[in-house]
Amino acid sequence: MIVEELVAGEVGTCSADTPIVEAAKQMIADDVGSLLVMDDTDIVGIVTERDVLRAVAEGKTQGIVKAIMTPEPDLLESDVAVTEAAEWMMAAGYRHLPVVKQGQLIGMVSIKDLVWALTEQIRGREEE
C-alpha cells in the first residue's frame, strides 16, 4: 500500500498572517491536528496542535501563525510505501505531513492514518 491511497478530501489551510487563535479554532472545527500554511498555491509552513499548545504555554496566543509554524515542512511523495512513511515519520517525530504528487499537493497524512493502514495490512495477513 502507498501513501496516496490514504489521502482524500480537503486539506486544512491558513495563511502565515492568520491569528493563532483563529488557526486553533479552525483545527477544532475541522477536527484536524494541523494546517498547511499557504501562500497562494505554495506550501510555506505547517502549524500543528503542538505549535498552538506551545504558544499558549509561552503566552503567545495573540500572535500570528508565522511566529509558531514550522517553515518549509518536509513533503511526502505519494508513491512512498506506508511502512516507509511510518518509519520516517516516527524517526523524525512528525505527526502530520503534506503529500505531493508530481510537486502538487494532494493531501495530508497523519501518523494515525499510517497506523490504521498498517493495522489493516496485518489483519489481512492474519486472515490468509
Write out the residue range of the structural domain in which residue 93 sits.
3-127
* Residue 51 grid cell: 505549535
pLDDT at 37: 98
Q: Is pLDDT at 128 greater than 70 in this prediction? A: no
Q: How far apart are CA 91 and CA 84, in angstroms?
A: 11
The mean per-residue pLDDT over the stretch 83-109 comes to: 93
Mean per-residue pLDDT over the chain, rounded: 92
* Residue 124 grid cell: 489481512
Grid cell 501562500 is found at 39
CATH code of the domain in which 16 resides: 3.10.580.10
Amino acid identity of residue 64, one-letter, is I
Q: How far apart are CA 21 and CA 52, in angstroms?
A: 8
pTM of the model: 0.87
pLDDT at 10: 84
Length of the chain (residues): 128
Q: Is pLDDT at 125 greater than 90 in this prediction? A: no
pLDDT at 24: 97
Q: What count of other Cβ atoms lies within 10 Å of the Cβ of residue 113? A: 19
The total of structural domains in the chain comes to 1
Those residues whose C-beta lies under 8 Å from the C-beta of residue 50, and which sit 6 or more positions away, are 95
